[in-house]
Structure 1
Amino acid sequence: MAGWNTKRKFWTETSVEEQGDGFAVLLDGRGVKTPAKTAVIVPTRAIADAIAKEWDAQVEEIDPLTMPVTRWANAALDKVALQHAEVADMLADYGGTDLLCYRADNPQELIARQAELWDPVLDWADEVLDARLNPIHGVMFQAQDKAALERLRQRVHAFSNFELSAFHDLVSLSGSLILGFAAVKKLQPIEDLWALSRVDELWQEEQWGPDEEAQILAETKRNAFVQAYCNFKLCHV
């Protein structure tokens, strides 16, 4: 069946078909499959349409790097669906060492900037997610409130396979469980949330100047973060 076993384009027509409770992407009437041979049946028409658009855009050879929605669906079907609880627990664990909680102990200017930008997000998490996480100055581990972490854990476990697959990238790329929730709940524009995850790096750039390699890597991560947000939104269109 249509999938990743060939690099050359082998179809002429791409379509979407409702199947059961989901939607399948068809290439010349044959269903697309994941690398693990799982049928690509997705929960919303919007996801299926986005995948179909990616396949339709291929010219002579299939380039997975130009197909981020397809790759996300593959991860949801081949990985998250098989270990949902393990992935959820891994992401929930970020709450115990959340980026927004670990603050500099000097210089004073950086301490003030972190407080100005990060404290409102922690206040939002307390109000909206019922989870108060406390700032910690320095690098020594300090435990957060267990009940707050458990409430966050339950929220992560409640995500569907496709939601959790997108949420994985939001959390792992930013280093923050709270910023992941802020993204899916649209607390701020996604670009602003990404900037919040890079407060320390941007501070270093101001002091020492930009590093070209680091900027290239940061841009790659930014694109992936924004794409993960777009993917999550497709679950609710």
Structure 2
Amino acid sequence: MLLNSCRLLVRVVNQVCAGSIRRYVAPPKRFYRQTGVVSSNGRYEIALDQRKLKTLKGAPFFVESEPLAIAIATEWDAQREVIDRSSMHLTALSSTVIDNPNNLQKPDIVNYLVNYLNTDALLFYTGEEKGLKNLQLAEWSPVIEWFNKRYEVELVATDGLEVPSFAPGTAMNISRYLSSYNVAALHGFMFAVDTIKSLILTCACVDRFLLPEKAVLLARLEEEYQLGHWGRVEWAHDVQQLDSQARLSAAILMVHLNSSNVTMKQKSP
């Protein structure tokens, strides 16, 4: 009976592994030698040798910021033998802006970001562990105070699982601020918020009150606190932290490079 059970278990594992192998798709090999930026009618396209980059839906890929185009070209140039699209955040964000797979309009994104405050990570202090709460008060409170002053609102954190209540005019003030950005920049906001689960921390990075590295640590405060007690698997947690930093940094770059009229000038010989 035990032998039959073991054989059945082995068969199931083999089937799962076989299915995983069939579903695995090898990343494409790098097919180009050089990357470049092509300017045309105020738009910037990415050239891979003689080919111009296209979006996942096959649309012409372009951005309206030369520094952003150079950063995207650098992402492609950094690929080695194979193309790892999961590491190319600026490419993915810019492609999403063009393809707009979810048919999002500017008001949709602004509403999503404003409504995120109801679940913002920084507004929920622990009601159980005193040491962790003291750490949250010390680290999060200054950021909340800065946010309130910067955006003329009165956000108050809560203990436990209660949804924070906001004073009248809070949503309007934040909506007005976010609406001043174009759609491409708002996609950067959305990517950042989804990465660190906080509009407050995202705005702090955009306004240069916090560096992305610090914002990620604040977003992971409870996890880091628990790891301090129970230990950490260095390679696993470090990789996760670095991935979040890379995503957040790309999102902040997306906001800044779509929000200013920056051009690149060549030095005279």
Q: Normalized against structure 1, the TM-score is what? A: 0.85
Alignment coverage as a number of residue pairs:
232
Q: Does 1:99 align with 2:99?
A: no
Deviates more, 1:180-189 or 1:210-219: 210-219
Deviates more, 1:97-106 or 1:212-221: 212-221
On the 8 A contact 2:118/2:163 being kept in 1, the answer is no
Q: Does 1:220 align with 2:243?
A: yes
Corresponding position of 1:161: 183
Corresponding position of 1:134: 156
In structure 2, do the counterparts of structure 1 residues 203 and 55 end up closer, same or farther at CA, with 3 Å as the change threshold? closer
**CA distance in structure 1 between the aligned counterparts of 2:203 and 2:176, rounded to whole angstroms:** 13
Deviates more, 1:8-17 or 1:191-200: 8-17
In structure 2, do the counterparts of structure 1 residues 221 and 130 end up closer, same or farther at CA, with 3 Å as the change threshold? same
Displacement of 1:108 in angstroms is: 2.3
Displacement of 1:9 in angstroms is: 4.2
What is the percent sequence identity of the aligned residues?
A: 25
Q: Secondary structure at the match of 1:42?
A: coil
**CA distance in structure 2 between the aligned counterparts of 1:177 and 1:69, rounded to whole angstroms:** 20
- Segments of 5+ residues of structure 1 without an aligned counterpart are 1-5
**CA distance in structure 2 between the aligned counterparts of 1:66 and 1:123, rounded to whole angstroms:** 34
Corresponding position of 1:89: 111
Report the residue type matching 2:59 in the other structure.
T
Q: Does 1:35 align with 2:56?
A: yes
In structure 2, do the counterparts of structure 1 residues 54 and 97 end up closer, same or farther at CA, with 3 Å as the change threshold? closer
Q: Secondary structure at the match of 2:169?
A: helix
Deviates more, 1:29-38 or 1:210-219: 210-219
Deviates more, 1:173-182 or 1:216-225: 216-225
Q: What whole-Å deviation, never above 9, does each CA across 1:119-169 have from its counterpart, x for those lacking one? A: 111111111111221011111223222411221123223322221122112
**CA distance in structure 2 between the aligned counterparts of 1:92 and 1:140, rounded to whole angstroms:** 18
- Segments of 5+ residues of structure 2 without an aligned counterpart are 1-26, 263-269
**CA distance in structure 1 between the aligned counterparts of 2:223 and 2:170, rounded to whole angstroms:** 28
On the 8 A contact 1:19/1:41 being kept in 2, the answer is no
Deviates more, 1:161-170 or 1:19-28: 19-28
On the 8 A contact 1:102/1:136 being kept in 2, the answer is yes
Displacement of 1:58 in angstroms is: 4.0
- CA RMSD, Structure 1 to Structure 2 (Å): 2.5
On the 8 A contact 1:114/1:199 being kept in 2, the answer is yes
In structure 2, do the counterparts of structure 1 residues 13 and 203 end up closer, same or farther at CA, with 3 Å as the change threshold? closer
Report the residue type matching 2:69 in the other structure.
A
Corresponding position of 1:3: none
On the 8 A contact 1:170/1:225 being kept in 2, the answer is yes
Q: Normalized against structure 2, the TM-score is what? A: 0.76
**CA distance in structure 2 between the aligned counterparts of 1:11 and 1:208, rounded to whole angstroms:** 47
Corresponding position of 1:206: 228
In structure 2, do the counterparts of structure 1 residues 129 and 58 end up closer, same or farther at CA, with 3 Å as the change threshold? same
Larger Rg: 2
Corresponding position of 1:231: 254
Q: Does 1:52 align with 2:73?
A: yes
Deviates more, 1:54-63 or 1:193-202: 54-63
- Of residues 55, 58, 64, the one that matches 2:85 is 64
**CA distance in structure 2 between the aligned counterparts of 1:19 and 1:168, rounded to whole angstroms:** 29
Q: What whole-Å deviation, never above 9, does each CA across 1:169-212 have from its counterpart, x for those lacking one? A: 21111111111100111102221111111111111112222256
On the 8 A contact 1:80/1:87 being kept in 2, the answer is no
On the 8 A contact 1:173/1:225 being kept in 2, the answer is yes
On the 8 A contact 1:80/1:161 being kept in 2, the answer is no
